[in-house]
Structure 1
Amino acid sequence: MAIRNNKRLIYPVIISEFNDDGHYFVVTSPNIKGMVTQGDTAEEAIYWAEDAIATMLDGTEYPEPQDPSDWEVKDNERIVYVSVDMTAWLKANSKTIRKTITVPKYLSDLAKDNGINVSAVATQALEAALNV
């Protein structure tokens, strides 16, 4: 069985620099409809673009990156590539869910007597088995 992990996506985005009500940068992506984010610096805007892309794509099919060579950009815009590690993002932003597991009673008793969190051990074992 193939296990999907370490999914890294790379998308071209347009970063626009503005000097109207201050100096700031806005990032949009023709690849991901509705994705807009910004930052006070170009680096900050790209940081938030990674999070915005991951948020917009969470739970969806990942679109193929477009070739930006035909994109028209204005004087205050440039094309940059944003790398998104979906596995790391999902891990950092994942909610916990309740799962019922079955373990031998003696292990359950030993874990309780030794203050071992069975959920934490199961999580660590799954991460190790899935290499995440």
Structure 2
Amino acid sequence: MTLHAPLDAPQAIDQSLLIYNVQPGGWVEGPRIKGKLQTPAGDWLRVMPSGVFRLDVRGTIQTDDGELIYVSYGGAIQCSKEQADRLNAGGQLKADDCYFITAPTFQTKSDKYTWLNAVQAVGKMVSVKFGDGSHVRYNIFAVK
């Protein structure tokens, strides 16, 4: 599936922790699922001493047929200084611009989507942008 999350400006707790709230309007769409991201949802982004970013994301998908699915994932981001500067200046990065990988898991009581409870997925950033039109978009795949 593809997951698209519009983002608020980050809350900068200190130099090592940024918190991004997901704005309304987020969505997911794939062959077996379609829905909207619900609030609250957010990303606790840690800046490691090496410059690598570590993700801690949590949110809820409400499917078009009314079912709720909790999604959480960690991940790693590593960009060059030039790519980070471009992103921080309001530019957009695409999939091949930097290493940006996630590992989503899902939880639901829905009979229709119970198969997701056993899925370990991987996600790859498709696009990310800060500033005006801030968002992150991933393609997410079940690992088999």
Fold agreement, TM-score > 0.5: no
Q: Considering Cα pairs closer than 8 Å and 6+ residues apart, tell me whether 1 or 2 has the greater RCO.
A: 1
TM value normalised by structure 1: 0.31
More helix by share: 1
TM value normalised by structure 2: 0.29
Work out which of the two has the higher radius of gyration on C-alpha atoms and give 1 or 2. 1
